[in-house]
Amino acid sequence: MRLGMRLVKGISQGKVAGIEEARKEGAFVGLADVVHRAGVSRGVLARLAAANAFRSMGLNRREAVWQVLAVDNAQLPLFDGMEADEVSPELPVLSLTDTVVSDYDTVGLSLEAHPISLLRRELNRIGVVPAAELKRMRHGESVCVVGLVLVRQRPSTASGIVFYTLEDETGVANLIVRPQVYERCRRAARGAAALIADGRVERQGEVTHVLVSHLRGLGSGIAQFHLRSRDFH
């Protein structure tokens, strides 16, 4: 699976269109080729490198960023005509966590791993249930779930009830938060990008929800991913 350049944060649609137009003449063979044919700046190159856009050229994220540092906007490029391995030193490979953080910083998602999966060992230790397990749990059973807040919605017809959709690496959990719980846990309920929710399973036919008794933010372990939820009021 590939992601389009339109997802890369900090690059205008005009710059993306220019790169796409230049690419019609043939595949790019290196950063220098992108600079000369598409006329992009060092800043655009840096965002593309951070988003791992040069992987098809045989450059990993760190190698591409290193080569971008060798590009001078006034005299492009300093190492024109040299092969990538002649100007790139032996660079340490990014850890999976750093890779996912960089993906979320540049494109808002990752094809490598879900942020919650990186915390799963600790979550298992404290009894957090993966979202996919909810459909196998009994009505009324106590449960604790964790996920990124995909949707936070308070319909005007719901008497103050707030509905959440949390996502982990296994699927989604739908939460029902009553007004008194929302007010008691207001700080996390209103602003946290990732939540730990305690409650009970509610089953209505094939539909499963978690009726929440307590909410808290996931904390510093997820802050590095710079996440935002979709809120509807």
Residue 188 belongs to domain with CATH number: 2.40.50.140
Residue 101 shares a structural domain with residue 127: no
Question: Which range is least confidently modeled, 56-65, 74-83, 177-186?
Answer: 74-83
pLDDT tens track for 42-62: 888 888 888 888 887 888 888
pLDDT reported for residue 208? 94
Comparing 178 with 35, the larger pLDDT belongs to 178
Tell me which of 106, 132, 151 is where a domain ends.
106
Among residues 166, 175, 185, 160, the alpha carbon closest in space to that of 207 is found at: 175
pLDDT reported for residue 58? 81
Quickly tell me which residue has 């040299």 as its tokens: 82
Residue 129 shares a structural domain with residue 207: yes
The model carries a pTM of: 0.68
Which residues span the domain enclosing 224?
115-232
Please state the separation of Cα 217 from the chain's center in Å: 17
Residue 86 shares a structural domain with residue 120: no
Of all residues in the chain, the percent with pLDDT exceeding 70 is: 83
pLDDT tens track for 13-22: 888 888 888 8
C-alpha dihedral sign at 186, 190, 191, 195: positive
How many domains is the chain partitioned into structurally? 2
pLDDT reported for residue 212? 97
